[in-house]
Amino acid sequence: MIPQFFKEDLKIISHYLGKLITGLGLLMFFPLIIGILNKEWNPSLDFILSSIICFTLGYLFLLNAPKVESLNWRQGMSIAGATWLAAMFLGAVPLILSGHYNSYLDACFETMSAFATTGLTLINDLDHLSYACNFWRHFMCFIGGQGIILVALIFFVKGGSALKVYVGEAREEKILPNIVETARFIWLVSFTYLIIGTFILSFINILHGMNINRAFFHGICTFMAGWDTAGFAVQSQNIGYYHSPIYEFITIFFFTLGAVSFGVHYSVWTGNPRELFKNFELKVFLSTILILSLILWIGFAKSFPFPNSFSFFRITFYQLISGHTGVGYSNIPSKHFLNYWSNLSLLAIIIAMGFGGCSASTSGGIKIIRLGIFLKGIKKEIKKFIFPESAVIIEKFHHIKEINLEDTQLKMSCLLIISYICLYLFGAIVGCFYGYPFILSLFESVSAAANVGLSIGITSPSMPTILKIVYIIEMWFGRLEFFAILVLFRFLFSLRGSK
């Protein structure tokens, strides 16, 4: 049972929320600079106005609660849940001012999709969007992939309070003993790969005939959305715009890295590359890729709508890895799923999206470690039936270190697996209510709730308003993994009851 909230909690939560909103206003200076460099004066003014709104609102929150207090768990969880809502509403302001969205709700959908690293989009005429707004879409992916709270840990949240909001953002692992140092390491890894990935992708773009400025812009945006497994693209054709197998291979490499636990990155960076071969989660990840690839390819046994075997592998494997890592990049139009893919092949992609990538990564979904723990739990129960009652059954696995499987871990993993499945089915049922076939509704729902971004064509500016709201809720719940949002709801109901 969550302890009762009090009015004193509101001041503490308001204080940190004010800081985080102010920080969001500061982050808007980056697309503002892009706009000024490209002489996009109207978008630049939009970001100036949006920053002023953030600064004003942040100041009002801080004015109401100027005193800094240490946080308890319920306050930290509430801050995490509320921050993502505030970021959605405020981050959408420059997007709606761009004129590329039918409504403020559509802009909020886009912003939640970016921060939650989903990649589903409701934009109109993406190919003519300003550089400033397009950069903002991808920069939000980069912020959201590491975590909005993770940015704040470096600048705004200190001491014992840091852990409270870190966990609230669905972060389970402390890579380093100090949470702030953990945040700094994650950003160090991300910025290092950002430099490397942007250079490689930009170089490929130049080889394909782009001028240097345009090549760099495409390179940095593609990397930010790829590394953070978001899936937003610079052009409406997504990765298919580049018509380059090499470009696709490079993006696979980087978004697969993004789906790997930062704990594994830390092990490799600190001189322990053997972790790549010993890690239990990576072994399960590779196994699911192989099994689901086989299921997907069997789905094309009766129909082969590809010119050759290379095209078959290039298209099908790209969608599978894109779905499994949660990036949502695609080298085919969404109609290709409808016209050429069997239900079995679609089911393989759905399962891949539902599982997601590794824990403590930029990926969403159930997470492979929880699937592995669930399978270990089954193995442990089978052993209990086989061995004598007096035997002590111990099940171990290696994830950064040797871990004994405990009942608490198993229960938590099962609870989250069930919660995600219920969330997937909830969105699918709503889709069916609006007349979409179940398999298609399930595909889109899993893509939203697992923060993937692959679309079968349901997500569009013309989709029902209620379905837009449902997908926003799914993206929010899926990214924060339920608990922070449930605590936030308890906080809001407590405030209502105290009036």
Average pLDDT over residues 277-289: 95
- On the question of pLDDT at 390 being above 90, the answer is no
- Which position has the higher pLDDT, 347 or 12? 347
- On the question of pLDDT at 163 being above 80, the answer is no
pTM recorded for the entire structure: 0.92
**Looking at 237-251, 260-274, 452-466, 479-493, which range is the least confident one?**
479-493
- On the question of pLDDT at 233 being above 50, the answer is yes
How does residue 181 score in pLDDT terms, banded at 50, 70 and 90?
A: confident
How does residue 67 score in pLDDT terms, banded at 50, 70 and 90?
A: low
- Which position has the higher pLDDT, 73 or 10? 10
Calculate the average pLDDT of the chain. Answer: 88
Domain boundaries, the chain: 1-171+464-499, 176-457
- On the question of pLDDT at 214 being above 80, the answer is yes
Using alpha carbons, select from 188, 163, 156 the residue that is nearest to residue 178. 163
